[in-house]
Amino acid sequence: MADSELVALRAADVSLVLDVAGPRLPRVLHWGADLGETDPELLRHLLAAQEAGGNALPPSAPLLPTQFDRWPGRPGVSGHRDGGPGHLRLTLAAPVSVVAGPDGGGTLAAVSQDETAGITVRTELQLTPQGLVRMRHAVTNTAPGTWQLDSLLCLLPVPAQAAELLDFTGRWSRERVPQRSAFGEQTIAHESRRGRTGFGAPPLFTVGTPGFGFGHGEVWGVHVGWSGDHQHLAQRLPERDAVLGGGELLGSGEIRLARDETYETPWAYFAYSPSGLDGLSAAVHGWLRARPSHPATPRPVTLNTWEAVYFDHDLAKLTALARTAAELGVERFVLDDGWFLGRRDDHAGLGDWYVDPQVWPDGLHPLVDEVRRLGMQFGLWVEPEMVNPDSRLAREHPDWVLAAPGRLPEEQRWQHVLDVARPEVFAYLLERLDALVGEYRPAYLKWDHNRDLVEAVHDGGAGVHAQTVAVYRLLDALRARHPGLEIESCSSGGSRVDLGVLARTDRVWGSDNNDALERQHIQRWTGLLLPPELVGCHVGPPVSHTNGRATSLAFRCLTALFGHAGIEWDVTGCTDAERAELSAWIGAYRRLRGLLHTGRTVRADHPDPSAFVYGVVAADRGHAVFAYAQLTAGTRDGATRLRLPGLDPSARYRLTLLPELPGPHLHGRPWHPDLTLTGAALAAHGLLAPPLRPTESYALELHRV
């Protein structure tokens, strides 16, 4: 609904109401629970609540608040012209444009300006049919001289009941670790200055009613879709509604706009749910799946060779590995690090993207041909943005490193970062990647990125922004030349997981850590943002190479089932029993991936923190699969009660153990819960199940009867 002053958009249990009367930028009067069909009286009531008298401030600030709007918090936009005053006074340059979406929601576009300062801002805000709000701004210098942009944020208001915050921390092989805190009258910022998304970057930076969980509580979340330096922000002031938002984190002097030049923020994605974190996931997952670029074919079972052979590339060994993989049911075979010039370990070779003739005298063709003969797709590992000092490229072009002249950053992993924004570097990388893809026709590239950007300097100034934009252009250019090519975003595992890179790639590598116990945590919180089909989840060897923990094959298989499944293991050394178990698990994945990769992800608020209960429920709620994973010793002895959310309360479901995976035992005998119960009973009372020991698990399949 819209009139001359107010706009009300609705989609998927979310309402967004804005005051667009001007002369300043629109103000959000409500973002949150669906208000139903908004009639004029309700809209007038929302507007009246903003018209405080006396010295009081209206609760909501404009979409881009500044001191001109009496906003005492962090400004939505800041910058200056040649060190002069940077305070902008933005007013609308034209009436706000609103276009309703055919399936709900709609798009709002506003152009504001400060004629005296010579600045124009274009603001775009969308409410998608899935209930997701997307926002971005673009600032243009319209006057002579240079205007330096310091910060440009996307912000939305959140109400007083949002009094608890969920943020994340993390490190290599332990990505996305949740941490909660009270959200009072304060500013809480999560900043990443790594030059990439980061191991602890929040999938969704979330505020909500105290104690919110996966299935309960009002929650509001934001994600900045950017793969360089970025910030997420929650701020509450005594005089105003709190705000939630974020944007790119700019270095000093990084964006200097000459006349008629424009800077555009990355998209910021905002989600609201009246019923917990699973509702946020449903909005983001639904939007991702509706994209034209979302993977449309079944996600193939992948074997990646890294933990099978590391740098020891031998045609006979790899051929045997491929044959065993094909016998198990693997559908994609990926040759990892070690195939290019001088690459016998990680000290040398990065940048020299030519097949090493000493290891591969006939090129990769003998292996590629055998992989295809076996009925599998071929994939290849690359790390285009990096260079080893011990490489032909570094010796011939030392000035191609992303650094100030004569001031190389400290090495990490015996490598530096290439300045992809330099035209000659971009051209070299595109030519090499295009040639490799053209010659070997891989279906898939595992695109790695194994160090932070440190002291990144491009063209004499801060270089992270230019580097990120150039990498995006490189991915876009390669995909344009090879439209069927799929690319995985890997960055020391899970350090480049964001919706910016996923606009150009087909999945992420959740973590270098294949230990199933750690992976349970990592995948749980990665799934807050991403649906299962976008997260690579592999079965590793019995003993994890990252932390030395031993876990059963059954636990490793169940953990890898709920994602884009694969193997990272030398399966030529498996016993007959292990091969049979792997083959059965692959069969289960191939049978269930139509459900796993289209259904709704649900996570039970299980009362025992030592165990996870989670699953995927089909869109029509007629079919579901759930996992029960005991992580550590339980808090109590005896049977446990598993409550299964997300089902149709009025329907009856037949429960069985997933036949392809081992099941639990009760009193020394196999347990078979062949039961038929209603969705309401399963959600409220649950299923009485046998206790498990640490790192034991099983899966249940449910069919509506």
pLDDT tens-digit series, residues 292-348: 999 999 999 999 999 999 999 999 999 999 999 999 999 999 999 999 999 999 999
H or E element in which residue 459 lies: none
Strands 230-235 and 219-224: unpaired
Q: What percent of the chain has pLDDT over 70?
A: 98
Q: What is the pLDDT of residue 4?
A: 65
For residue 576, the one-letter residue type is D
Q: What angle do CA 201, 205, 209 make, to 5 degrees?
A: 150
Number of CB atoms found within 10 A of residue 576's CB: 7
**What pLDDT was estimated at residue 421?**
98
Q: What is the pLDDT of residue 362?
A: 98
pLDDT of residue 516: 98
> How confident is the model at residue 51, as a pLDDT?
65
Q: Domains (ranges, CATH) in the chain?
A: 61-290 (2.70.98.60), 302-588 (3.20.20.70), 601-704 (2.60.40.1180)
CA atoms in the 13 A half-sphere facing the CB of 615: 27
Question: Side-chain half-sphere of 457: how many Cα atoms within 13 Å?
Answer: 12
689's CB contacts (< 8 A; 6+ apart) are 628, 639, 640, 641, 642, 664, 671, 673
Cα–Cα distance measured from residue 683 to residue 215, given in angstroms and rounded to the nearest whole number: 11
The residues carrying an active-site annotation are 448, 512
Distance separating alpha carbons of residues 449 and 491, to the nearest angstrom: 4
Residue 246: alpha-carbon gap to chain centroid? 15
Helices 576-596 & 553-561 angle (0-180, nearest 10): 20
> Backbone dihedral region of 490: left (phi > 0), alpha (psi from -120 to 50 degrees) or beta?
beta
User: Do residues 408 and 384 lie in contact, with contact meaning Cβ atoms separated by under 8 Å?
Assistant: no
Burial class (CB in 10 A: 0-12, 13-18, 19+), 363: middle
Would you say 239 and 160 are in contact if contact means Cβ atoms under 8 Å apart? no
Task: Please tell me the distance from the alpha carbon of residue 292 to that of residue 294, in angstroms, as a whole number.
Answer: 6
Which residues of the chain register pLDDT less than 70?
Answer: 1-4, 51-57
Q: Whole-prediction pTM value? A: 0.97
Predicted pLDDT of residue 352: 98
